[in-house]
Amino acid sequence: MALKSFKPYTKSTRGTILVDRTGLWKGKPFKTLVEPKNAMKGRNNNGHITSINRAGGHKKMYRQVDFYRKKFDMTATVERIEYDPNRSCYIMLVKFEDGQHSYYLAPHKIAIGDKIENGSKKEIKVGNCMPLQDIPVGIDIHNVELQPGGGGKIARSAGTSVSISGIDGNYSLIKMTSGEVRKINSRSMATIGTLSNPDQKNIKVGKAGRSRWLGRRPHTRGVVKNPVDHPHGGGEGKTAGGRHPVSPTGQSAKGLKTRDNKATDKFIIRRRKKRNKR
């Protein structure tokens, strides 16, 4: 898929860059694999705003993507590749030999008519899903389970993948995109290949209206608010200094470590790379 740019007929089209979706399915999604999606719009069950700058957005139906891929030892054919408004990568509709249909995450460079399989000791081919113990070191994989049978959790975004960097007993060493190396049980399932739509990161929205279609409201800086509305607010004129940067609720915004799940520290071999401080 290529990128689309536009002639500068308006100020918005001058800077707009979108992904060309030529070749994707243009009809409606597979009816038995969709369900209504209730948009909470950043509010809790009492209607109070708990996540700011979210509201509106286009109405969506949720596609029931199978992240478990438990239908083993049966060949499936890729019938079509579709756009999914609920995620950044594309999805593919596959049909198994028994006539059952499923939605899977679509890897990059997979084509309509390709055959894929799930299970142990399958061919190392894009789209096939198998345990980590059956995948050679250095192969790009996605939709990786953290626990056997728990469903894919790692590398599910557009253009992403991780790789196996080694073996440690009953565990495989997985190198993340961030640089972190983590131990995962070798019985966990993973899918071969890099995910589709790698140009997603190059999109330029171009206008405020398109952000509203995506459910994003305008963002107002804290320093221009009143003290009652934000910890940075108040003061005479532009008084942006003298305050520790925090969120509207007072959470430190720069550098504070908030990771709380210490039980899985034993599985982390090497921490992710630190970002350069500006």
> How does pLDDT run across 127-170, given as a tens digit for each residue?
999 999 999 999 999 999 999 999 999 999 999 999 999 999 99
Q: How confident is the model at residue 274 (pLDDT cuts 50, 70, 90)?
A: confident
How much is the pLDDT for 145? 96
User: At residue 122, does pLDDT exceed 80?
Assistant: yes
pLDDT band at 1 (very low <50, low <70, confident <90, very high): low
Distance between CA atoms of 236 and 224, rounded to whole angstroms? 10
Res. 241: pLDDT tops 80: no
Distances (CA, A) of 67 to 89, 97, 150, 192: 14, 19, 9, 14
**H-helix or E-strand spanning residue 14:** helix 11-15
Q: Answer with the residue of higher pLDDT: 174 or 241.
A: 174
The pLDDT value given to residue 276: 61
Judged against a pLDDT cut of 90, whether residue 7 lies above it is answered with yes
Specify the 3-state DSSP secondary structure of 173.
strand
Q: What is the mean pLDDT of residues 100-107?
A: 97
Span of 6-15, 37-46, 144-153, 236-245 with lowest mean pLDDT: 236-245
Q: Which residues on adjacent β-strands are paired with residue 34?
A: 63
Question: Can you give the residue ranges of every domain in the chain?
Answer: 17-39+58-200
Q: Is 28 exposed, middle or buried (0-12, 13-18, 19+ CB in 10 A)?
A: exposed
| pLDDT per position as a tens digit, 24-61 | 999 999 999 999 998 888 999 999 998 999 999 999 99
Of 146, 142, 151, 125, the closest CA to residue 69 belongs to 151
215/15 Cα distance (integer angstroms)? 20
The pTM for the full model equals: 0.90
Domain 17-39+58-200 has CATH 3.40.50.11720: no
Q: What pLDDT score was predicted for residue 192?
A: 97
Residue 146: left if φ>0, alpha if ψ -120 to 50, beta else—which one? alpha
Mean pLDDT in the chain? 92
Share of the chain above pLDDT 70, in %: 97
How confident is the model at residue 237, as a pLDDT?
Answer: 83
